[in-house]
Amino acid sequence: MRQWIIAGVLAALCVAGTAWLALSPRPTPPPPLRVLLIPADGGTESGTLADYRPIFDAVARRTGLSFDLKVAQSYGGVVEAMCNNAADIAFVGSVTYLQAQKRGCAELLAVAVKSGRSVYYSGLFVRGDSPVRSIDDLRGKRIAFGDVNSTSAFIFPVAMLLDAGIDPVRDLSAVRMTGTHANSLAALINGQVDAAALSFDSYDKAVRANVPRARDLRVIARSEPIPYPPLAANMRLAPALRSRLRDAFEKIDRTPGITPEMIRGYGGARVDGYVGHVPADHFFPATRKMAQVTPALKGEMLRKSAERAVR
């Protein structure tokens, strides 16, 4: 009899536990991490999103986290979003990253590696039939630049002009600020400018996409190696979460089920993997160019660009 009583009590407890579990609210999954991308290239918001969705899908598969990807209107908008806690993770240029880091808003999360290096290049391009053969021939010409905070579409190309003894305010006939690499490329192809400053990654992407007449363009100057555009984490994220994300990026190329096609970087190009720990001097070249292209010079070039627009 006693055994029957014990069995009955256990059965009742089991039923009660099952009912409690059924009535208890399930834990709410955390909201997706907000990812903001600079409008580096792609020409369209959907194109930029397509560049980075594969790698974030891969990290989501490894970590179980989810990500909400959006594209900013400007490079400066990404810095403000990080510092105003409107973004958790950002894909930025080196200069943009240094701006956010200086304000205490961001720390390095991961940098892509391709062929053992984390660098890329900027260039000055002209049309194939242009008489311009070298950077010295750009005096008196019209040049398109991207966003004023873009590392490869403004800072490094302007520094290249300065190094060649060309004052971009005094010696160019017109400055056009287009906002993106793709817009600068289009301005050059359509004959609105004589030269355009953009990254080789953006140019290569245009060639892969068979943009009309992109293959006919010619390079007249190539920059020194530029630190690859990093992914940055908002400093407000918990240190454990930042560490978890960094670990996921660093091991993504060795994660079962992740295909090489998912490991993408700037411009949607396939890369070998990511590193989350880089030497302290990795961004020194960008720091040096930032110092060379002073805020005063930026202001003068913006004014020159606005004057042209009014004419």
DSSP H helices, 84-155, are 94-102
E-assigned strand segments in 11-139: 33-37, 67-71, 89-91, 106-113, 119-120, 122-126
Which pLDDT score, from 0 to 100, does residue 240 have? 97
Give yes or no for a contact between 197 and 121, defined as CB atoms under 8 angstroms apart.
no
Under DSSP, is residue 149 helix (H, G, I), strand (E, B) or coil? coil
Enclosing H/E stretch for 82 = helix 75-83
Structural domains in the chain? 33-118+228-278 (3.40.190.10), 120-225+289-308 (3.40.190.10)
Instruction: Report the residue count for the chain.
Output: 311
pTM for the structure as a whole: 0.82
**pLDDT tens for the chain, residues 1 to 311:** 555 555 555 555 545 555 555 556 667 778 999 999 987 665 567 778 888 999 999 999 999 999 999 999 888 999 999 999 999 999 999 999 999 999 999 999 999 999 999 999 999 999 999 999 999 999 999 999 999 999 999 999 999 999 999 999 999 999 999 988 989 999 999 999 999 999 998 899 899 889 999 999 999 999 999 999 999 999 999 999 999 999 999 999 999 999 999 999 988 889 999 999 998 789 999 999 999 999 999 999 999 999 855 44
Residue type at 257? G
Closest among 266, 229, 244 to 97, alpha carbons compared:
229
- What DSSP state is assigned to residue 114? B
- What DSSP state is assigned to residue 138? G
